[in-house]
Amino acid sequence: MEEEYLVVDPVSRQLSTRADKVVAAAAAELGARVTTELTRYQVEVRTDPHTTLTALGEDLLHTRHAVARAAARLGLRVISSGTPVLGQHTPPPVTAGARYAQSLATFRALDHEQTVCACHIHVEIPDLATALAVSNHLRPWLPALIALGGNSPYWDGQDTGYDSWRTLAWGRWPVAGPPPYFESAAHYEDLVGRLITSHTLLDRGGVYWDIRPSHHVPTLEVRVADAAPTVDDTLLLVAAVKGLSAAGLSSVRDGRSAPRPQPEMLRAAYWRAARDGVRGQSIDLPSGRLQPATRYLEQLWNTALPPLSPTDRTHVRTARRQHAEQANGADRQRTAYRRRHSHHDVVEHLIDTYLGKPPVKTDPSRT
């Protein structure tokens, strides 16, 4: 899996443009597993493949510590949030490179508000046709994953009123949001080919649907959630995707058809989930009626838990109890803000929780 982080100055709590320096320093330990992203504020890391949540968690904690150590040596800190809290400039400083330059020339102001960070989870499914069939089964669960992973309520010092503002910002791309229902591998190849021919995509790497077959490794990539504040939050998302994917694969092998929610209702459910998170209302896709988001999430876990191993299920139950007490990352960011109505406190909270440490209460004398 891949995680994207933001680099911040610990004194001003503003974004730092020295992410490339952090990447260079962290590469001494992580090698090619750490890299730059679109803006000079961002760092991306990736793990090795794993089969258990425990092993993946150890890998994630190792990569987070390595990046944090590299940043600290430069007098900087790292946070995991779907959007910046402070210091977002428009347009942002873009990382040097031919592909980023081509993106800016093609998509123009779309690149100006893409200082956003996500959590990308890869599930090994080597056969394209099977991967697309599993994607069809995963589509109805995407709004629940948005709500579960909501961790981007602020944008440049303003509360957007959304738990996942990144979902709205990212959805502006021409090939983003929920993927189509694919009838076959040929359907997928034809559509992607047409999008490239029409110069809507730069290449296959620009397919930004929230579920997509990877163009360089034999996986199905689920990329719908915000960057998670802690490793435990990431693992909860991974468990959901792993269980849902296994359930979907079982349905494919048994010949069961995937649900086909109306695209308009799926997009409406996206909006509602991005706004309300886990504490509000969700849209029941079959009926179109509102229901508590907690009911939708319970349906998700009723599907995702059975395929998991006993060890993974125990991990999930523990994480869900903690999540029920603290809600999602967006709720925790707002809790940090309410202490003194300070966005600086939100950034400090994210710094403190990046490595899983308990939040540190802010000294009222600090500004």
Residue 190 covered by a domain: yes
- The answer to whether the CB of 230 falls within 8 A of the CB of 349 is no
Contact 146, 224 (CB under 8 A): yes
The predicted structure's pLDDT at residue 83: 97
Q: Residues with Cβ < 8 Å from 360, sequence gap 6 or more?
A: 348, 352
Q: Is residue 358 part of a domain?
A: no
Print burial letters for 195-222: b (CB count within 10 Å at least 16), e (below 16).
Answer: beeeeebeeeebbbbbbbbbeeeebbbb
Sign (positive/negative) of CA torsion 130, 149, 344, 78?
A: negative
| Helix intervals (H) in 14-97 | 19-30, 53-73
241 belongs to a structural domain: yes
Is 359 domain-assigned? no
Domain encompassing residue 337: 2-353
Please give the pLDDT value at position 1: 95
pTM above threshold 0.85? yes
Token pair 């089964």 is found at: 137
Q: Give CA angle at 117 (237, 297), nearest 5°.
A: 25
Give the CA dihedral 288, 289, 290, 296, nearest 10 degrees.
Answer: -70
360 inside domain: no
**363 in any annotated domain:** no
Question: Is 31 within the bounds of a domain?
Answer: yes
Q: What is the total count of domains within the chain?
A: 1
Give the strand pairing for 208-209 and 176-177: parallel
Does residue 367 sit within a domain? no
Q: What is the pLDDT of residue 60?
A: 97
Render each residue's pLDDT in the chain as its tens digit; 367 residues: 999 999 999 999 999 999 999 999 999 999 999 999 989 999 999 999 999 999 999 999 999 999 999 999 999 999 999 999 998 777 888 888 888 788 888 888 788 888 999 999 999 998 999 999 999 999 999 999 999 999 999 998 999 999 999 999 999 989 999 999 999 999 999 999 999 999 999 889 889 999 999 988 999 999 999 999 999 999 999 999 999 999 999 999 999 999 999 999 999 999 999 999 999 999 999 999 999 999 999 999 999 999 999 999 998 988 888 777 778 999 999 999 999 999 999 999 999 999 985 443 433 333 3
CATH number at residue 225: 3.30.590.20
Nearest to 332 by CA among 220, 226, 177: 226
